[in-house]
Amino acid sequence: MSFADDSYSFCRHYEYETRSEQWQSICQKPAPPTPASPRASSSDSDGGAPTTSTRLTDADINFQRVSVSGEDTSGVPLEDLERASTLLIEALKLRSHYMEISDQSFPTTTARFLKTVRLKDRYDNLPVRTVSEIIRKQSMVSFTDMHPTSSLKAPHAWDVEFVPDESYIIKPVNGVFHIYKDEALTSELNFTYPDMSQFVNDMQVMCNMIADGPLKSFCYRRLCYLSSKYQMHVLLNELRELAAQKAVPHRDFYNTRKVDTHIHAASCMNQKHLLRFIKKTLKNNASEVVTHTNGQPMTLAQVFQSMNLTTYDLTVDMLDVHADRNNSRLREVFLKTDNYLNGKYFAQIIKEVAFDLEESKYQNAELRLSIYGKSPDEWNKLAKWAIDNNVYSSNIRWLIQIPRLFDIFKSNKMMTSFQQIIDNIFLPLFEATNKPSENPNLHRFLTYVIGFDSVDDESKPENPLFDNDVPRPEEWTYEENPPYAYYIYYMYANMTVLNKFRQMRGLNTFVLRPHCGEAGPVQHLVCGYLMAENISHGLLLRKVPVLQYLYYLTQIGIAMSPLSNNSLFLNYHRNPLPEYLARGLIISLSTDDPLQFHFTKEPLMEEYSIAAQVWKLSSCDMCELARNSVIMSGFSHNIKQQWLGPNYFEDGISGNDITRTNVPEIRVAYRYETLLDELSNIFNVNQKCHVKENE
Ligand SMILES: [Zn+2]
């Protein structure tokens, strides 16, 4: 069988082109931007970029390319290379399968390579869908997409379109919701998802793979090669990259869009901000009843009396003690959406944070709000909180964080089985999708929710036993907390069905973006690899070369927060961020928890600033990080087009618009060509193996 499919031969052919270009490039200056008609769509000063009439390809970009010549460039025996290639392709197929059926994205370049592989197994019938195809589909649905440029003001933001109600019956089967057309449950909407036994199987395949000696050393070598290649690239092209940035009028690091891709709503303000807010509230609303203690109403003034505090006493140091996670009435009054005041103060302070973001214009945040799965009305309360208090900003999107607290609920006798958590979290979402008019607040609120996060301390010991005999959620009645993989699997499986259902109804879909690989077992990162569109932290990838290489090949976004890691798990100077960035993993910088870790009004800039100083990041690196943060964020397709350029989802330089991103074409071309080379290495060998087999 021939492998010389068009898309495949494209990149080999392309590679030869770039090599001949290399010689010309040495003595040429970067081409001046071609003057052309202004871009039709963008009206503000922000995106008035000139369009070139003939589109450049990556090969047209002049810079000094680092290349290795010779037949076999991997540095391991051919046998090992063939084996590694087979295993890695297997792993790539797995992820593309999991992303495909859950409507999450997979990078176009890698998908193109995968298409060339003969698909003999269960993926046979599934086309590999790419980022751009998914994006095109998404862009048609949500209301916000239609108004990307206008800064939607809060009351109007909630005027979303309502689709007519349906009367499907929604019932869980082994922990995953199914949708039936009739009461008798005889005919159902056939939305497939990997069942538990298949998932357990795939986990085992992946776990064996990451422990495989020869594969480990292959991946380790490739990662080292990627680091060295990048050092060479910087050595040879640093000045050109800088010159390209300087040549762009108006744009600099400050006015490129950046998204804080990992930040918790309850700690999105810094200590000083919270303190000022508390003082102000105590001054103006001292007599407001804010809580009930032992059946007695308590005013704000009484709360402070009970703690022996006056406004004068309030300092940041004292907040540290009193706003502590566990023992705080202040936290209850000021940082909860569901309290005696229905989260009034919390809404006000979030709006102040949002106001600061809007003022800065170029900073955005994906705030995490909690749904615990304690009771079925949590979703409606949360949606009501957002809408009643008009907590909306065009600079903010919501992620829902689900803490892994089953053991606590169980020991407090709040529930009997794990199935109850699943019911409380997912049933309201299915119902709001089925009958929007009966759940109007939730339907509106969900328009601005982009996905789910799973949170808790990953270093807590967990039962590693995870096989086909694992009890189903209704049978999980133990005191013990289910393992990480169990939580993630049921979130993923239910989200997959929910996404199909919402897509069928013409509504926005969700993605999975858990905390993953901050500490604890490396199996968490395998779960992330299979099921999450992108992850937060990923620190432990530094210890698992196979997974790190796979995260690179599949360009999985990783939101890293080195300042937060520095306090909790890993010294700043040992953080793997600079190494990951050098190798070409998709990294973004995020704050995690400004209330604990940051001092200024612009925590995200603080994070960038410290990273830049400590690791000597160039302005090109910073802009690349900012661009990554927008790409991996959940902002809509149209907004991303406005921020990054109309073709941002395309590969290589055709997806970059330096007038908006300030990332030089040289950097983008380098990243793209490097990824193509790595993929060609792997897929080429595979092709040769098959040819041999057929002879
Ligand atoms: Zn976090």
Question: Which pLDDT band, with edges at 50, 70 and 90, does 137 fall under?
Answer: very low
If one compares 305 and 632, the residue with the highest pLDDT of the two is 632
For residue 515, the CA-to-ligand 1 centroid distance in Å is 7
Please give the share of the chain, as a percent, with pLDDT higher than 70: 84
As a whole number, mean pLDDT of residues 574-597 equals: 96
Which residues are part of the catalytic machinery? 537
For residue 454, the CA-to-ligand 1 centroid distance in Å is 9
pLDDT for 138 equals 45
Alpha-carbon 168 to chain mean position: 31
As a whole number, mean pLDDT of residues 533-562 equals: 97
pLDDT for 431 equals 96
For residue 84, the CA-to-ligand 1 centroid distance in Å is 34
For residue 168, the CA-to-ligand 1 centroid distance in Å is 36
Beta bridge partners of 186: none
Q: How many CB atoms lie within 10 A of CB 431?
A: 18
Could you give the count of Cα atoms lying within 13 Å of 295 in the half-sphere of its Cβ?
0
For residue 559, the CA-to-ligand 1 centroid distance in Å is 10
Q: How do residues 631-666 score in pLDDT, each as one tens digit?
A: 999 999 999 999 999 999 998 999 999 999 999 999
For residue 173, the CA-to-ligand 1 centroid distance in Å is 32
As a whole number, mean pLDDT of residues 453-482 equals: 89
pLDDT for 467 equals 84
Instruction: List, as one string, the DSSP characters of 423-472.
Output: HHHHHHHHHHHH-GGGSHHHHHHHTTEEEEEEES-TTS------STTPPP
Q: At residue 13, does pLDDT exceed 80?
A: no
Helix axes 78-101, 108-115, angle to 10 degrees: 110
Q: Give the helix ranges, DSSP H, for 557-645.
A: 562-568, 577-583, 594-597, 603-615, 619-632, 637-644
For residue 656, the CA-to-ligand 1 centroid distance in Å is 30
Q: And the tokens for 27?
A: 């003595």
If one compares 605 and 685, the residue with the highest pLDDT of the two is 605
pLDDT for 695 equals 58
pLDDT for 690 equals 64
If one compares 106 and 45, the residue with the highest pLDDT of the two is 106
Cβ neighbours for 104, distance < 8 A, ≥ 6 positions apart: 98, 134, 511, 512, 532, 533
Average pLDDT, the chain: 85
Domain boundaries, the chain: 6-138+212-250+655-694
Question: Long-range contacts for 330-337 (Cβ within 8 Å, ≥24 apart)?
Answer: 330/278, 330/303, 331/266, 332/291, 333/290, 333/291, 333/300, 333/303, 334/274, 334/277, 334/278, 334/281, 335/266, 335/267, 336/266, 337/369, 337/381, 337/382, 337/385
Q: Which helix (H) or strand (E) element contains residue 401?
A: strand 396-403
Q: At residue 75, does pLDDT exceed 50?
A: yes
Q: At residue 295, does pLDDT exceed 90?
A: no
